[in-house]
Structure formats: C-alpha cells, structure tokens
Amino acid sequence: MTTIYLDADACPVKEETYRVAGRLGVSTLVVSNGWLNVPASPLIERVIVSEGLDRADDWIAERAGPGDVVVTSDVPLAHRCVTGGARVLAPTGKAFTEQSIGVDLASRNLMTELRETGEIRGGGRPFTKQDRSKFLNALNTALQQIRRTGR
C-alpha cells in the first residue's frame, strides 16, 4: 500500500499533499519534531519524533521504500529515500531520481560550502504559485504511476 511521507517541518505544501492524498485515498504520515495541526482524517497521521538533528529524516528513511512517495526539500534525506526505492519530490515539484540525486547532492554540498565561506550570501529564491502548481501535478503523476506499476 502506498504511503506519502511528508517531511513536515517548514514544508510549504502540506495542504496540497492532504488534498491530493484525500482525493486518491492515499495514507499520509506527517513527520515532524514538534506538534503540527493536521486535518482530522483516517488517511492522515501525525508522527512526532524526538528532538534532535535528523531524527525526522531518520524516521522517514527507515520506513519509505518502493511504492511510497516522500515529500522533502532536504537533499540528503532525498538521497537516502531514492536509494531505498521511494519516489521523492521537492515542494517545487522537482523529482529526485536515481539519475539526478548524485548531481543534486553535489550541488547542495557545493552551495553549503560557498555559504559557509561567505562566497554566497542570502537565501534561496521565494516559493511561488508556479512551484505549488508544479508540485500538485508532480504528486498526482507520481501517485498515478505507482497505481499503474506498483512502484
């Protein structure tokens, strides 16, 4: 059975995930380090992990596998989940795949190093309506493909 694992701390597409999952009847686990409000639905479960660095990531990576979808912007978590066979989507709709994850991880590490050395200042680009729309399409497509193929 397909499950959506939502890396929920600071995730901008929680409501969109709930909507698509509800329409398709897919179980969603909302994983965070603290209490978050989630809709009252038998398909949605709140999972609160203990405080600590990467605890939510570890919880998700240990459980997500083939036939599941993970929603995260955390590239190291995406790498772990892709390696485990899950489909992984960023909130922008970008799919992390076996073919792209090496480059995604290298780019993330380079950007982290450049920020730490002061070569780059400031944050990333703002989250847009187009990102939200791309995410909705990508999530729907991923879930439909899993239904057809089982993976």
Q: What is the pLDDT of residue 115?
A: 73
> What is the distance between the alpha carbons of residues 134 and 68, in angstroms, rounded to a whole number?
19
Count the helix, strand and coil residues of the chain and give each as a percent rounded to the nearest 5. Answer: 45, 15, 40
What is the domain count for the chain? 1
- 12 φ/ψ angles, rounded to the nearest 5 degrees: -85, 0
Least reliable range by pLDDT among 43-52, 73-82, 95-104, 137-146: 95-104
Q: What is the pLDDT of residues 49-65, one digit of tens each?
A: 988 778 999 999 999 99
Q: What is the pLDDT of residue 102?
A: 77
CATH number at residue 128: 3.40.50.20
Q: Which domain holds residue 35?
A: 3-149
Entry pTM: 0.90
> Per-residue pLDDT for 30 more than 80?
yes
Are 138 and 90 in contact by the 8 Å Cβ rule? The answer is: no
Beta strands 95-96 and 87-89 are antiparallel
Q: What is the pLDDT of residue 60?
A: 98
Q: What is the pLDDT of residue 99?
A: 86
- Between 45 and 122, the higher pLDDT residue: 45
Q: What is the pLDDT of residues 91-132, one digit of tens each?
A: 999 999 988 877 778 777 776 677 778 887 776 778 999 999
